[in-house]
Amino acid sequence: MPADSPPSWPRPPAALPACWLDRPPANARVAVAGLVLVRQRPGTAKGVIFVTLEDETGVVNVIVWRSIYERFRRAVIAGRLLRVTGRIQREAGVTHVVAEEVEDLSALLDGLLGSGAP
């Protein structure tokens, strides 16, 4: 892609929709956001946590290494809506985002309740 052409995907802090995970090249820095569906911490994973996020277009698999977990522990454990900034990793046909930053956006969900919704 020429240096002066527009990017083909949103750059952080803008969130990349799950359905666009195939656009950035491997190792590109992206941000994704979504509701937390699953958190997994297998005993054999040496402290790695796997988080599955869902947005309106699909799901995103996130890998959280121990050092990142320790920095963003509260968000990783308690967040219901997360924005994760990290690097795209592709292996054996599976795409992950390897987390560098994790932000808890759950307060935005709480704000929906105050908007007059039943």
DSSP category for residue 72: S
Residue whose entry in the numeric block shows the structure tokens 């005993």: 43
Dump pLDDT digits (tens) for 22-55: 999 999 999 999 999 999 988 877 889 999 999 9
Q: Residue 80: pLDDT above 90?
A: yes
Q: Residue 2: pLDDT above 60?
A: no
Per-residue pLDDT band at 1 (split at 50, 70, 90): very low
Helix (H) or strand (E) holding 77: helix 73-78
Q: Residue 116: pLDDT above 80?
A: no
CATH architecture of structural domain 18-113: Beta Barrel (2.40)
Of 58, 53, 56, the closest CA to residue 103 belongs to 53
Write down the domain spans for the chain: 18-113
68 close to 85: Cβ distance less than 8 angstroms: no
R_g (Cα) of the chain, nearest Å: 15
**What average pLDDT score do residues 94-115 get?**
88
